[in-house]
Structure 1
Amino acid sequence: MSRKLLVDIHTHLYLPRYAQLLRARSQIPRITTLNGEERLVILAGEASTGRPVGPSYWDRNEKLRFMDTHGIDVSIVSPANPWLDFLPPAPAAQACEELNSDLEEYCATSPQLEGTRFKRLYGMAYLPVVPGAEVDAVCRSVESLGKLPHIKGVILGTQGLGQGLDDPVLLPMWETLARAGLVVFLHPHYGMPPSVWGAQENGHVLPLALGFPFETTTAVARLILTGLLDKLPTLKLLLAHSGGALPVLSSRLASCIAHDPVASSRPQHDARYYLGRMWYDAVAYGPEELAFVASTVGRAGRYAGNGKEPETRGTERLLWGTDHPFFPPLKGEAMWMSVTENLDAVKNAPGWSEVEKEGVRGGNAVDLFGL
């Protein structure tokens, strides 16, 4: 790749068909109108207010305008939570097929990036992973994505078919995803029980800043404990929000597993080894935090137990993102802090070479998604 690219791998959309589905609902999740303004309500604590929602959530021209304003060359868009979790199995399967077709068209008819082989937009698809669904139906949905050339991955929440992603029933889904070579973007939605945030009104700060990353941390720890990453060494897992608390708690997790007679025999390696088997978005908002994630991921080779896997810098496992269209500019500002702060984090990460920074900004995404 001769041209340096800025690639956004954490950027969401609500396709028009999906927005209409939410508008037709009377319960959370829904799009409702308050004081003449459409509001998106997807979390229990937002029931009376929601958040403003508009064209930036579904209009492709708005997505491209945002990209152009911030110098983003390519975006790999993913449907935003809560995906299809609220639908029964049959309607979810039908909606999944229709929405993935819409997503392919959204990407396939996007402009070509001038002077390159790249489209401006690629996608990560829905799967009908909802409570009560049959895993065979999910596998068929994965296989159907092979007919959609601009779909490069899938996005998954953490509830699975109702028992979480470590549910043994889901093993055929994971096997099918590994065979297909699709990136699996694990993204939170449910956070933690509202009771843990106390009686003080703090808006959505604690659920989003802490609840979402803790949800991802727990889901991935449960996957490690199943031995899934030993069974499927080619599975491509991409973790939202820089892996949540997993990097900082990985040694504690490893120690607890080693001392627990119930769990110690399940993973084939020290838990820290598996951090080097996954990828992470670089949505950490600070250079020190981002550098810590990279260094923690890079040391994973020392825990392989075979003396053959070297330590790395870890930067090759990080991919830049913006979380657009959430967290819009504050009043009086034109640029999105989620863009500028996460770009500054890469620019100022201590000890990183320019080659490493360029990889995080775009080259790693080109390689992982096979663009």
Structure 2
Amino acid sequence: MRGLIALEEHLSTPRNDELWDAAGEAARNGRAYTAEVEARLLDAERRITAMDGAGIETAIVSLTSPGVQSVLDPRQAAELARDTNDTARRDFVDAHPGRLEFFAAVPLQDPRAAADELERAVRDLGAKGTLVNGYTNVGDENTARYLDEPANAPFWAKVAELDVPVYLHPREPLPGQRRLYEGYASLVGSAWGFGHETATHAVRLMLSGLFDTHPGLRIILGHLGEGLPFLLPRLEHRLYKQREGIGLGSARRRVSEYFEENFLVTTSGHFHTRSLDNAIAAIGADRVLFSVDYPYETMDEAVTWFTACPLSRSDHAKIGAGNARRLFDL
């Protein structure tokens, strides 16, 4: 299948790598990147070659996790976000017009600065939205701010004003919340912890009332929705049973309504046909988009799987490229 569009595709920058190197051995081990992945994160030319071979027409790239969200110094976070966005535009988009686009990095350590940088990236650099790598560290590595918290109101107001999507990308659970994974370190990251962390973060957004304040917001989740297409019916059922309890948030509607109207999902890193069918059943083929998760996954594997999926010609066209063309005005 040719002419595909992918939108959970990662890059790094020399500045990002410098920050990680300065963070010490523990942080570097936490990344657990192979040398091959490191090289591909930085290399736009190899990316284009892989896209050509697999049949991917356009990719929207973004700073790899945890990126700006993990930087403890707000000033340094703002500098990294600005440098990342300038680099993405210059070294990726401008170097390969029509083939590469980008999601902005934003320094949510200071939500007003994040709003300003998002506006600059969208209006001046042509960013297609923003990708946020989960919670944002504030103060230290065990202190986090999640996207539903009131401090982020200026950021969400700017997202609504600009009318661009927010890709909620995973990161590992906070170090102080990993007792469950002790003895099973391989579960902390993308194999399991990523999905658990991000699905819960998305549910926080649904319960917070954010989508009542800004009903037009669009949130993108990777990995076919981080398990939510399967889990939300049970969640909604139990929340109704507990409706007289505490900790229910301020949402005016059911979580399934927000999921159906304010969320989209991509196939990134989850090349499983029954899971795709479940996502389509939950939110419809118009809200599912093809993605790879390059360079952590290979383009050939993603495309081979998607091409063989027993979908209608119409759904193949929508998910493969049509939905993305409409969403991002490509």
Give TM class, smaller chain: 0.7 to 0.9
Asked if the contact 1:158–1:216 (Cα under 8 Å) also holds between the matched residues in 2, the reply is yes
> Over residues 63-110 of structure 1, what are the superposed CA-to-partner deviations in whole Å (9 max), with x where a residue is unaligned?
111111211111100111111212300111122112211111124423
The 3-state SS of whatever aligns with 1:251 is helix
Q: Which runs of 5+ in 1 are unaligned?
A: 31-40, 113-118, 298-313, 328-335
**1:18 aligns to what?**
16
Asked if the contact 1:10–1:77 (Cα under 8 Å) also holds between the matched residues in 2, the reply is yes
TM-score (norm 2): 0.88
The 3-state SS of whatever aligns with 2:129 is strand
Task: For 1:54 and 1:248, locate their aligned partners in 2 and report how far apart those are by CA, in whole Å.
Answer: 33
**1:87 aligns to what?**
72
**1:36 aligns to what?**
none
Deviation at 1:248, TM superposition (A): 1.0
Task: For 2:259 and 2:161, locate their aligned partners in 1 and report how far apart those are by CA, in whole Å.
Answer: 21
Aligned in 2, Cα 1:54/1:267: closer, same or farther, shift over 3 Å?
closer
**1:58 aligns to what?**
42
Asked if the contact 1:257–1:263 (Cα under 8 Å) also holds between the matched residues in 2, the reply is no
Deviation at 1:206, TM superposition (A): 5.8
**1:8 aligns to what?**
6
Task: For 1:269 and 1:12, locate their aligned partners in 2 and report how far apart those are by CA, in whole Å.
Answer: 34
Equivalent residue for 1:295, pick from 281, 287, 290: 281
TM-score (norm 1): 0.79
Task: For 2:126 and 2:112, locate their aligned partners in 1 and report how far apart those are by CA, in whole Å.
Answer: 24
Pairing of 1:226-237 with structure 2 (within 5 A):
226-237=208-219
Pairing of 1:1-371 with structure 2 (within 5 A):
5-30=3-28, 41-43=29-31, 46=32, 51-52=34-35, 53-84=37-68, 85-112=70-97, 119-130=98-109, 133=110, 135-160=111-136, 162-191=144-173, 193-199=177-183, 204=186, 207-260=189-242, 261=244, 262=246, 266-277=250-261, 278-283=263-268, 284-297=270-283, 314-327=284-297, 336=298, 339-350=299-310, 352-371=311-330
The 3-state SS of whatever aligns with 2:166 is strand
Task: For 1:236 and 1:68, locate their aligned partners in 2 and report how far apart those are by CA, in whole Å.
Answer: 30
Amino acid at match of 2:315: E
Q: Alignment length, in residue pairs?
A: 316
Task: For 1:222 and 1:273, locate their aligned partners in 2 and report how far apart those are by CA, in whole Å.
Answer: 14
Asked if the contact 1:12–1:77 (Cα under 8 Å) also holds between the matched residues in 2, the reply is yes
Deviation at 1:194, TM superposition (A): 3.7
Please provide the CA RMSD for this pair. Answer: 2.3
**1:301 aligns to what?**
none
Asked if the contact 1:7–1:361 (Cα under 8 Å) also holds between the matched residues in 2, the reply is yes
Amino acid at match of 1:319: L
Aligned in 2, Cα 1:146/1:343: closer, same or farther, shift over 3 Å?
closer
Deviation at 1:345, TM superposition (A): 4.5
Amino acid at match of 1:22: W
Task: For 2:305 and 2:214, locate their aligned partners in 1 and report how far apart those are by CA, in whole Å.
Answer: 32
The 3-state SS of whatever aligns with 2:3 is coil
Higher RCO (CA < 8 A, seq sep 6+): 2
Task: For 2:206 and 2:162, locate their aligned partners in 1 and report how far apart those are by CA, in whole Å.
Answer: 21
Asked if the contact 2:2–2:55 (Cα under 8 Å) also holds between the matched residues in 1, the reply is no
Amino acid at match of 1:10: E
Amino acid at match of 1:155: L
Deviation at 1:359, TM superposition (A): 1.0
Task: For 1:296 and 1:73, locate their aligned partners in 2 and report how far apart those are by CA, in whole Å.
Answer: 28
Task: For 2:248 and 2:123, locate their aligned partners in 1 and report how far apart those are by CA, in whole Å.
Answer: 41
The 3-state SS of whatever aligns with 1:99 is helix
Aligned structure 1 segments of 4 or more residues deviating by more than 6 angstroms: none
Task: For 1:65 and 1:23, locate their aligned partners in 2 and report how far apart those are by CA, in whole Å.
Answer: 29
Asked if the contact 2:173–2:193 (Cα under 8 Å) also holds between the matched residues in 1, the reply is yes
Asked if the contact 1:286–1:344 (Cα under 8 Å) also holds between the matched residues in 2, the reply is no
Aligned in 2, Cα 1:259/1:189: closer, same or farther, shift over 3 Å?
same
Identity of aligned residues (%): 25
Task: For 1:124 and 1:73, locate their aligned partners in 2 and report how far apart those are by CA, in whole Å.
Answer: 17
**1:307 aligns to what?**
none
Deviation at 1:27, TM superposition (A): 4.2
- Higher gyration radius (CA): 1
The 3-state SS of whatever aligns with 2:253 is coil
Q: Could you say which structure has the higher helix fraction?
A: 2
Asked if the contact 1:225–1:263 (Cα under 8 Å) also holds between the matched residues in 2, the reply is no
**1:115 aligns to what?**
none
Deviation at 1:263, TM superposition (A): 5.1
Q: Which runs of 5+ in 2 are unaligned?
A: 139-143
